[in-house]
Amino acid sequence: MSVRNTTLDDKTHKSELDNVKYISIDFWEPYKEIAKIYFPHAVICGDSFHALEHLTNDFRAVRLKCRRNTEDEDLKYLLTKFKFVFDHCRDLDNKGKYNKRFRRYMNYRDIINILFNRFPELKAAYDLKESYITFNQTANSDNARQLLAEQIKLFAESGIEEFIEFYNLMVNWSDEIVNSFSIVDNKRINNSYIESRNNQIEKLILNANGYTNFKRTRNRILYCLNKNDTFKI
């Protein structure tokens, strides 16, 4: 018997799953197929956090390629020790500190400019990364499709091999990315709630050094995740 049949309402003869309006998923094809089968009336949304995770991993691959392809130890040092200068919203105009290796005061902008001058592809990759993050933060359900098409064009024209994976993600999951800008209860659709719960469960199991009894594990998880539960000594 299918899951949909077990959730049928005796009066309406409709599945409770038909009441689900939105599904937020990672960018994994089986999740999409399952959502289509069991939640046919729901809007499928691609979680924006996981989109950014793909993007930052691909940018990291560009940085690591630059490090592998240079014999300059100073550049390797900067690409490794100061990799955080590429973080989004990093304050690059901080107060400079004396760097013994370069024998001068340097702030983060000095460092990133040295790397960009030596690795033009790294700068192009950084600009693309920042462009998509800006799109992700500022677009809305009305303009997301048009703005996403512009992002796809930029990534396609960049010629950066490491970004092919993210380009394909944007193309193959364009509907789901656009759908992710849907607003429910003044909040954008995302996976944050379930990701938080997964993190709590992982920490619980880790702190217990594992469990051997499934029923006790389940009860412990349900108890710890229920903020309304209390206990008495």
E strand spans, 43-151: 43-46, 97-99, 104-106
Q: Do residues 170 and 131 lie in contact, with contact meaning Cβ atoms separated by under 8 Å?
A: no
- pLDDT, tens digit, for every residue of 8-18? 665 665 778 88
Per-residue pLDDT of 195-220, as tens digits, reads: 888 888 888 888 888 888 888 888 88
Same domain, 55 and 103: yes
**Is the domain of 63 the same as that of 163?**
yes
Shared-domain flag, residues 198 and 120:
no
DSSP conformation class of 184: E
Rounded CA-CA distance 63/27 in Å is 24
Q: Within this chain, do residues 124 and 228 fall inside the same structural domain, yes or no?
A: no
In this structure, is residue 105 part of a structural domain?
yes
How far apart are the C-alpha atoms of 125 and 151, rounded to whole Å?
A: 13
**Same domain assignment for residues 62 and 132:** yes
Residue 121 lies in a domain: yes
SS3 label, residue 155: helix
Q: What is the extent of the structural domain holding 97?
A: 50-139+157-167
Whole-prediction pTM value?
0.84
Q: How far apart are CA 204 and CA 211, in angstroms?
A: 10
What pLDDT digit, counting tens, does each position of 47-70 carry? 999 999 999 999 999 999 999 999
